[in-house]
Structure 1
Amino acid sequence: MAFPPVDEQMEVLRRGVEELIPEDELVEKVEQSRETETPLTVKLGCDPSRPDLHLGHTVVLRKLRQFQDLGHRAILIVGDFTGMIGDPSGRSKTRPQLTLEETRQHGRTYYEQATRILDPEKTEILYNSEWLDEMSFSDVIELSAQQTVARMLEREDFSNRYEAGKPISIHEFLYPLAQAQDSVHIEADVELGGTDQRFNLLLGRQIQEAQGQDPQVCMMLPLLEGTDGTEKMSKSLDNAIGITEAPEDMYGKVMSIPDDLIYRYVELITDVPTDELPKVKTFADENPRAAKAQLARRIVAMYHSEDEADAAQDHFEQTVVEGGTPDEMDEHAPDAEAGEEVGLLNLMRNAGLTESNSEGRRLIEQGAVSIDDETVEDTGLYVDVSERAPFVLKVGKRRYARIVWNGAR
């Protein structure tokens, strides 16, 4: 196939990249690819321990999609085998190990969500158990001999734990070696990852050279800050925006990011043309609320539809800006008899407003739950739905449900 000119490809590929090691080798690889009409093999490994993707994950996925659009070969490696070890990157303690069945299931979920960004017809998916599970103990010894303990302890997370007297299991040293072996197996030209994967990606380059291959180029993408504006986006930190979230929730969460992140979000997780980015920055500086609304609408349209983006914007304006109640909301009829009281925590969970009773309890304690605009303070509240319904149950700033009673069971 005819690849775009090298300069055009590099302009696309440099966008939003934190570190490229080494850049001159990538230019050479792109030049050779174009001359021989042979696509580069670009690798992205995914950790299947957390299968729910958020906008932070899309930073590196979008870069892989750019390689696809330029005509290169994209390989998504699901670490079902390495997932049983657990990536120690950035960890202060040993991660719990998963079963192969768990990692496989998580990997399928990851792929289903990742192909909302990647072209599914051009994405190859491989499970690294296919080759790692076949390695003999002598193979592992030979691989381990290509790295030293001193080099492993150069990793900040390992060195911090070692100095603090916290345990480091031997199997954790094998994780980056196994990830490097993935690069050897597919003969990767480029490996993508977040900046927290720097050590692992560079080790892959080293192991490829030790086994007689041309070393991969390591492309590191920044870690996107979450809605709190400080910590990297993470579901466990409650600052994430999931790519499968409801349009109204997605829109509202984007509107809650700090103003100084608007440009960063546009650059890293949208398809706004690069030559328009300076205008975006000016617009964000001069009118941050309008720029943020434009960003929120764009993101919802990317993962849902234009119509749903319009509806989410209207919902936000009506409920948050104007402080009103949406005209349309889901209805929930509890399975209760006349006079029977229903626990509010269960009611919120069953209505789909919270994922768990513990989340509901936390939100009540924060004053974020109301019934017909009256704030609820009692986490142990019970409600006689047959007497009180219909009423509007609001959780947080954007979640509503109309509670109705349809009569006795």
Structure 2
Amino acid sequence: MIVWVDMKGVVKVSTDKSAIEELLTRSVDSIYPTRGALEKVLFSGKKIRLYLGIDPTSPHLHLGHAENLIMLRRFQDLGHEVFVLFGDFTGRIGDPTDKLAARVSLTSAQVKENLKTFKTQASKVLRFSGQNAAQVKFNAKWLSKLTFEEVIEFSSHFTVQQMIERSMFQERLQAGKPIHLHEFFYPLMQGYDSYAMDVDLEIGGTDQTFNMLVGRDVQRIYRNKEKFVITNRLLEDPATGKKMSKTEGTLINLDDVPTAMFGKMMAAPDELIVPIAELATLIPQKNVEEIKIALKKGINPRDIKLYVAEELVKLYHSTKAATEAREEFVRVFSKKERPEDAPKLKITKTLPLIDLLIEAGVESRGEARRLIIQGAIKINDEQKKDEKEMIATKKGDILRIGKHRFFEIV
């Protein structure tokens, strides 16, 4: 979409009806206070300030983040002022949402390390330069400067009952598990972010509804101002209700190399085809509807996955990379050949199998064990089943993890 700029260099806000209609429907679950109220603002031509918050609990952004980044991009294309807030302060505390135990706190060094490539990854969707560039902010800039007196005053506007009624806290109470006092402060900190940036709108997944509505309360209390909230559907498997995750082996990261991204999409459960196409790509909605019809008619899901996988790689890498990834997938998995451009893995010593997998980027020992138990690990086509087996690799060996991840030992 073209970003229109007037003679003075000021970005003009678009009120394109079809673009706003897609913006408010494609991935949306709910809009607060109402869709009608937000539509009225958007069609008025008023420029709004909106943001998405992301905590650096991992060094990778994934398709779940991408869904919200895509919505930000649509607002950016319409001429609105968009921010990505990286929670370098809140990330150290940990969001208790959907957690049946307190998160392990991260150190400042861990947060800093995780943040290293966040902007680069987000730039696969957003524009951080040129006309109407997106802006990056860090909440330690204001949260770390609050005095204890200010925190007490701020927290006085909320009650323990508001916090304790949340489902994950109720489940912990019933299970006799502890609820730590600092966990009540997470939604307050997220709410303060809205005040510090003085935003008109916040977007996030449905799992963030409570936290985002706290920010709405904060804007009303301190600025007597409305703040809109858009909650987007979670990218999850309709058959299981589970989000894409490294634990389930379905996580697709934005910094995955093209062949790995393509391969992971091909390995994803068939039930994820439509959610990924609709929420994490720029495939036109009419094409998404055609995908739904084709699947109902019994078209081979593999053929549809090839299309969606190519669109994924096209968006997060390039058209050329998408074409090459598709050709490589067909060559390797249809013709049973090894990949020509497998990522190189430098191993200089004998390692237990489980440690070799960690060196190859498997994100936890638990995930590594799961892969080994499932028989998903091969070295030179020989299956490995003992996590303690000492592996003495040599140059040119091929490590295969699952169906679609290959590494050449160097």
Return the alpha-carbon distance in structure 1 between the equivalents of residues 269 and 280 of structure 2.
16
Is this contact kept in 1: 2:246–2:363, CA < 8 A? no
- Work out whether residues 378 and 401 of structure 2, in 8 Å CA contact, stay in contact via their aligned partners in 1: yes
Task: Give the alignment of 1:9-408 within 5 angstroms.
Answer: 9-14=19-24, 15-21=26-32, 22-32=34-44, 34=45, 38-121=46-129, 122-225=133-236, 230-286=241-297, 287=299, 288-327=301-340, 329=342, 335=348, 342-343=350-351, 345=353, 348-349=356-357, 352=360, 362-381=370-389, 392-401=398-407
Partner secondary structure for residue 18 of structure 1: strand
TM-score by length of 1: 0.85
What amino acid is the match of 2:138?
A: Y
Aligned mates of 2:267, 2:392 — CA distance in 1: 35
- Distance verdict in 2 for CA 1:276–1:238, change over 3 Å: closer
- The residue identity in structure 1 corresponding to 2:157 is Q
Partner Cα separation in structure 2 for residue 142 and residue 332 of structure 1:
53
Alignment match, 1:407: none
Distance, in Å, in 2 between the alignment partners of 1:153 and 1:385 is 53
Indicate the residue corresponding to 2:7 in structure 1. Answer: none
Q: Give SS of 1:289's match.
A: helix
User: Whole-Å Cα distance in 2 between the matches of residues 236 and 350 of structure 1?
Assistant: 14
C-alpha contact (below 8 Å) 1:348/1:360 kept by paired residues: no
- Say whether the 8 Å CA contact 2:353–2:386 is kept in structure 1: no
Cα deviation code 1:214-259 (max 9, x no counterpart): 1211100111126996410123443201111122221121112233
| Consecutive unaligned residues in structure 1, runs of 5 or more | 337-341, 405-409
Note the residue ranges of structure 2 that are not aligned, 5 or more in a row: 1-10
Q: CA deviation at 1:116?
A: 1.5
Distance in 2, Cα, partners of 1:234 & 1:112: 21
- The Cα shift of 1:403 comes to 5.4
- Return 179-188 or 128-137, whichever deviates more: 128-137
Cα RMSD, aligned residues only:
2.9
Distance 1:227 1:323 in 2: 31
Q: In structure 2, what residue type is equivalent to 1:25?
A: A
How many angstroms apart in 2 are the aligned matches of 1:226 and 1:397? 20
Equivalent residue letter for 1:118: L
Secondary structure (helix, strand or coil) at the match of 2:291 reads: helix
1:147 to partner: Cα distance:
0.9
Matched, 1:7 2:13: no
Count of matched residue pairs: 393
Amino acid paired to 1:117: V
Q: How far is 1:203 from its partner?
A: 1.3
Q: Distance in 2 between matches of 1:113 and 1:373?
A: 33
Question: Which of these two proteins has the greater Rg computed from alpha carbons?
Answer: 1
Q: Say which is worse superposed, 160-169 or 147-156, in terms of deviation.
A: 160-169
| Partner Cα distance (1:86, 1:347) in 2 | 28
Tell me how far 1:205 sits from its aligned partner: 0.9
| Paired letter, 2:82 | A
Q: 2:346 & 2:181 partners in 1: Cα distance?
A: 54
